[in-house]
Structure 1
Amino acid sequence: MTTAPRPSDRTLLVVDDDKPFLTRLARAMETRGFEVQVAESVAEGISHVRRAAPSFAVVDLRLADGNGLDVIAALHQARPEARAVVLTGYGNIATAVTAVKLGAIDYLAKPADADAVQAALLGDTDTRAALPDNPMSADRVRWEHIQRVYELCNRNVSETARRLNMHRRTLQRILAKRAPK
């Protein structure tokens, strides 16, 4: 079990459009020794990355002006060794895989506390998660597959429906619903 090298500085960018959560997390991470910058949108997050790419980032997946994965991609391009964590209230396997491919080291469901965020940012990336006690249902597996294809088609509903051999409206209804248990 090896630990990945950690950046020597403790600069952290937190990107979230939920202002109270953003403020709480920024304060909590400052008390843990991070030098925190905040952004409330994808555009603002990318602007921070272009000015001075931080060592660490915590990025919400769904923001008012777009997808937080764009911030992760910009950070990974500007500073490949940076460690980023994606936060979301809309977790699914497809976006988790995409986030990791773009350079994120972890994917946490909201509301995540500062201890979980710090553990993810500074943790060992080689450790394996334990097997789940409750495996996914067949409905959930189907939903995850649809989400994965949707992400692979760059969130294009028509193309996803074509690839899944499904009516576009049916797919839109599935995408609008919450994930099955």
Structure 2
Amino acid sequence: MTTEAVLDEAVSNERVLLLVEDDAAFARTLGRSFERRGYRVLLAENVDEASAALIDNSPGYAVVDLKLKGNSSGLACVQMLHQHDPEMLIVVLTGFASINTAVEAIKLGACQYLAKPSNTDDIEAAFDHVAGTAEVEVTNRATSVKTLEWEHIHTVLAETDFNISEAARRLGMHRRTLARKLEKQRVK
């Protein structure tokens, strides 16, 4: 086997992960954890940086934060990544989990959707658990009013690209009231 063939095989076996996260401290910590597990980690803070990273790299894995700073949407990032490579395993992480965004993330190409806090073990397990299973327990518990309210709030937030002022206007509540509700509900 030639040296070039050995290098090509090493590159093809390399696990490359694109981490799209705007919280720099969390991104560094998670990135280092994946590097210790043998991944080459590419960091991006938004959709544009993620797209630029794809020019010279072919990641097989991606971890995308749902809510990115500015006008960047994690769902738009998932869609772009899936269009670039339908075989890429994409996990969405969020501190603002909702059924609506989970369904949309899966429709757009994510293989899993995890609520924060999630660690490297959780994310790797999500990469390994791509196929669905009929063994998941179905509960008989009815959805609570608080859960329904949270789902409605999150749907409106997603529709407004997480613009709190616009979401509050559409929900008919004061901006500070919505901010307090989000802070209480936020998964840390």
The TM-score, its normalising length taken from structure 1, stands at: 0.75
Moved more, 29-38 or 136-145: 136-145
The answer to whether the 8 Å contact 2:16/2:40 transfers is yes
Who wins on radius of gyration, i.e. which is larger?
Answer: 2
Paired with 1:132 and 1:93, the residues of 2 have a C-alpha distance of: 16
Task: State, as a whole percentage, how many aligned pairs show the same letter.
Answer: 40
Residues 134 and 28 (structure 1), Cα distance of their counterparts in 2 relative to 1, 3 Å cut? farther
Q: In structure 2, do the counterparts of structure 1 residues 50 and 74 end up closer, same or farther at CA, with 3 Å as the change threshold?
A: farther
Structure 1 residues 149, 54: closer, same or farther in 2, change over 3 A? same
> Which secondary structure does the structure 1 equivalent of 2:62 belong to?
strand
2:103 paired with 1:97: yes
Structure 1 residues 36 and 155, CA gap change in structure 2 (3 angstroms): closer
| Among 61, 65, 73, the residue aligned to 1:56 | 61
Of residues 138-147 and 127-136 in structure 1, the stretch that sits farther from structure 2 once superposed is 127-136
Taking the aligned partners of 1:60 and 1:71, their CA distance within structure 2 comes to 9
User: Is 2:49 the counterpart of 1:44?
Assistant: yes
1:50–1:78 contact (8 Å) kept in structure 2:
no
CA RMSD of aligned residues (A): 3.3
How big is the shift at 1:85?
0.4
Q: 1:18 aligns with which of 12, 20, 23?
A: 23
Q: How many residues align?
A: 170
From the two aligned structures, give the one with the greater helix fraction: 2
Q: Is the 8 A contact 1:53 1:75 kept in 2?
A: no
- Give ranges in structure 1 of 5+ residues lacking alignment: 1-6
Specify the code of the residue in structure 2 equivalent to 1:80: P
TM-score by length of 2: 0.73
